[in-house]
């Protein structure tokens, strides 16, 4: 149980005259007026004055209020919030690697360039693709880069085309990435299995379509079993198959998108390959392509000649830079350490365990929570609040009540094709004990929905912050503390 104590603002702890440090008197003449054009900051009115003890305890208590993957299970579907090995952090913090300035000459950054090239080669092997760019900073940035490559190819061949097809089960950023690249998005409906309708795809796929953007497994956790036939339909009309690789945690070491006739995909190093994720970053979204799109990759490209690595900017068909310098280098180091530590057998075990954990949760909660699609699922499963709605309880109420059990809620209300969705992805890092804690909490919440629904509608009850008026907060956000 959480001991609910209201933590005051740092301004409320403040008392005039307090300080965490005492500096010696100034022993040189004060001659600031002699420095022409110097801008001095004036004292900040109302700036908090606190002791070292108070400020240390204040921020320590705030840190303990925040849920994190080091504290417990983080079942956010479609986000792969797995535990991050601390050894990777140590490796990524080595001064010999991170101390190299990004503008250092190539001869002084050989180790950095070699590690990046090793990572590129490993990602090609894992995905079955021919070339990789590490530049994109995160998943949506990788999507955008992939679509820019497709547009550059079509444009170079005389027609950028007009449309991009996107299934209704795709990730939400896919339409935005296509739109930013100048395309009109057309939606492809799912069939009763939760996968792409081949009939709908064949009808919509014309010579005006540049690409199909497909998430595989899709956001229901269902593998697109017709992916090779889907690719044939798209390729027959000169289009490309773009794959959103955010769910690669369900495939790595078992099968490869390149073998499924995928032309381009982005990867999330901060998801599949276990680097810190959340809070706005840092992320890394490398883009992998088949040979046909390689000439268009962002510059510079890392190449090797006579045992020396160098950056090649002389690529006339390139889309140019998409990120300053060469990408999120520390995230790459952590991902590389993770891949090398696991090896091929370990990556396969990672995937198999993630799928096993997801299906264990699914089978344990089937019949208690509604499952719209009964197709086999891989790394995540999507329930809904349909059964609990009969008692006036929504997926929001269920999620808020989970906080009282000390658990982070799953993804809510996505994908949109499942009304009242609860999307659960346990990843491979959760033990059976932790899975059982989550399952028992979900069963208990279902009982509460039937016996005492008001308990859920007013949850959470023992957290530091009670339920907020989220609509009011969105419409009238308070962005400045007025000291009242």
Q: Report the CATH number that the domain containing residue 441 is assigned in CATH.
A: 3.90.1150.10
Rounded-to-integer distance, Cα 183 and Cα 177, Å? 9
Q: Please check whether residues 120 and 230 belong to one and the same domain.
A: yes
Q: Alpha helices of 366-404 — where are they, by DSSP H?
A: 386-389, 395-404
Q: Give the domain CATH number at 247.
A: 3.40.640.10
Neighbours of 352 (CB within 10 A): 14
Q: Is 133 or 189 the better-scoring residue by pLDDT?
A: 133
Q: What's the 3-state SS for 16-47?
A: CCCCCCCCCCCCCCCCHHHCCCCCCCCCCCCC
Model pTM?
0.89
Instruction: Using the 3D structure, point to which of 325, 341, 357 is the last residue of a domain.
Output: 341
Instruction: Decide: helix, strand or coil at residue 184.
Output: strand
Residue 7, in any domain of the structure: no
In a domain, 278, yes or no: yes
**Cβ atoms within 10 Å of 85's Cβ, excluding its own:** 17
Residue 423 belongs to what domain range?
Answer: 347-473
Q: What is the CA radius of gyration of the chain?
A: 26
Whether 416 maps to a domain, the answer reads yes
Contacts of residue 307, defined as CB under 8 A and 6 or more positions apart, other chains included, come to none
Write down the residue that tokens 């006739």 correspond to.
261
Are the C-beta atoms of 136 and 287 separated by less than 8 Å? yes
- What are the C-alpha distances in Å from 317 to residues 153, 200, 299, 452? 9, 34, 10, 64
Per-residue model confidence as pLDDT tens digits over 21-54: 888 988 887 765 555 666 777 788 889 999 999 9
Angle, vertex CA 383, rays to CA 379 and CA 388, nearest 5:
155
Our CA dihedral for 223, 225, 231, 232, rounded to 10 degrees, sits at 180
Same domain, 140 and 283: yes
Closest among 153, 444, 426, 423 to 296, alpha carbons compared: 153
- Identify the CA nearest to 287 among candidates 309, 264, 269, 306: 264
- 246 falls within a domain: yes
Q: What is the mean pLDDT of the chain?
A: 92
DSSP conformation class of 422: E
pLDDT tens-digit series, residues 86-115: 999 898 889 888 889 989 999 999 999 999
Q: Are residues 225 and 101 in the same domain?
A: yes
1 — pLDDT class (breaks 50, 70, 90): very low
Q: Across-strand partners of 63?
A: none
Domain annotation covers residue 13: no
For 203, the token pair is: 């009808």
In a domain, residue 332? The reply is: yes
Convert the pLDDT of each residue in 163-204 to its tens digit: 999 999 888 899 999 999 999 999 999 999 999 999 999 999
> 155 and 215: one domain?
yes
Quick one: 279 and 405 in the same domain? no
Specify whether 358 is located in the same domain as 388: yes
| pLDDT (tens digit per residue) in 243-290 | 999 999 999 999 999 999 999 999 999 899 988 776 656 889 999 999
Is the predicted pLDDT of residue 214 greater than 90, yes or no? yes
Residues 116 and 246 in one domain: yes
Does residue 169 lie in a domain region?
yes
User: What is the total count of domains within the chain?
Assistant: 2
Same-domain pairing of 361 and 331: no
Residue 58 backbone class (left: φ over 0; alpha: ψ -120 to 50; beta: rest): alpha
Q: Are 368 and 336 within one domain?
A: no
pLDDT at 2: 44
Q: Pick the last residue of a domain from 341, 357, 379.
A: 341
Do 404 and 301 share a structural domain? Answer: no
Whether residue 286 lies inside any domain: the answer is yes
- Choose one of 307, 341, 375: the last residue of a domain: 341
Tell me: do 243 and 290 sit in the same domain.
yes
User: Which tokens hold the place of 99?
Assistant: 């101390």
Q: What is the phi/psi pair of residue 212, to 5°?
A: -110, 130
What value does the mean pLDDT take over residues 372-388? 96
Based on the fold, state whether residues 361 and 335 are members of the same structural domain.
no
Token pair belonging to 173: 């950023």
């Amino acid at each position: 149980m959480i001991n609910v104590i209201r933590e005051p603002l740092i301004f409320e702890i403040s008392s005039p005259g307090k300080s965490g440090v005492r500096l010696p008197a100034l022993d040189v003449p004060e001659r600031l007026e002699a420095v022409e054009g110097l801008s001095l900051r004036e004292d900040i009115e109302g700036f908090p004055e606190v002791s070292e003890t108070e400020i240390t305890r204040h921020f320590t208590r705030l840190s303990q209020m925040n849920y994190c993957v080091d504290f417990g299970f983080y079942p956010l579907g479609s986000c792969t919030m797995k535990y991050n090995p601390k050894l990777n952090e140590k490796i990524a913090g080595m001064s010999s690697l991170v101390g190299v300035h990004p503008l250092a000459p190539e001869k002084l950054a050989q180790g950095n360039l070699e590690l990046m090239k090793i990572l590129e080669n490993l990602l090609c092997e894992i995905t079955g693709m021919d070339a990789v760019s590490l530049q994109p900073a995160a998943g949506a940035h990788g999507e955008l880069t992939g679509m820019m490559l497709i547009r550059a190819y079509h444009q170079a061949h005389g027609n950028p085309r007009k449309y991009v097809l996107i299934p209704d089960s795709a990730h939400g950023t896919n339409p935005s990435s296509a739109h930013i690249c100048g395309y009109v998005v057309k939606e492809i409906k799912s069939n009763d299995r939760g996968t792409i309708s081949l009939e709908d795809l064949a009808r919509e796929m014309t010579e005006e379509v540049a690409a199909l953007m497909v998430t595989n497994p899709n956001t229901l956790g269902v593998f697109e079993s017709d992916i090779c036939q889907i690719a044939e339909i798209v390729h027959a009309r000169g289009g490309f198959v773009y794959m959103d690789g955010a769910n690669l945690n369900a495939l790595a070491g078992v099968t490869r998108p390149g073998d499924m006739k995928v032309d381009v995909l982005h990867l999330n190093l901060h998801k599949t390959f276990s680097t810190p994720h959340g809070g706005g970053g840092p992320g890394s979204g490398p883009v992998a392509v088949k040979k046909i799109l390689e000439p268009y990759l962002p510059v510079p490209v890392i190449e090797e000649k006579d045992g020396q690595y160098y950056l090649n900017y002389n690529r006339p068909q390139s889309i140019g830079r998409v990120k300053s310098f060469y990408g999120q280098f520390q995230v790459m180091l952590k991902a590389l350490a993770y891949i090398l530590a696991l090896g091929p057998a370990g990556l396969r075990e990672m995937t198999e365990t993630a799928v096993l954990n997801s299906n264990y949760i699914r089978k344990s909660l089937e019949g208690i929570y509604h499952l719209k699609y009964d197709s086999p699922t891989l790394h995540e499963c999507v329930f809904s609040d349909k059964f609990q709605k009969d008692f006036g309880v929504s997926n929001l109420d269920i999620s808020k009540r989970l906080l009282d059990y000390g658990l982070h809620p799953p993804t809510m209300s996505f994908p949109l094709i499942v009304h009242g969705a609860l999307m659960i992805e346990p990843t491979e890092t959760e033990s059976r004990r932790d899975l059982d804690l989550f399952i028992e909490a979900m069963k208990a919440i279902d009982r509460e929905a039937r016996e005492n629904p008001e308990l859920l509608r007013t949850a959470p009850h023992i957290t530091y912050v009670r339920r907020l008026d989220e609509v009011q907060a969105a419409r009238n956000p308070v962005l400045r503390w007025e000291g009242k």
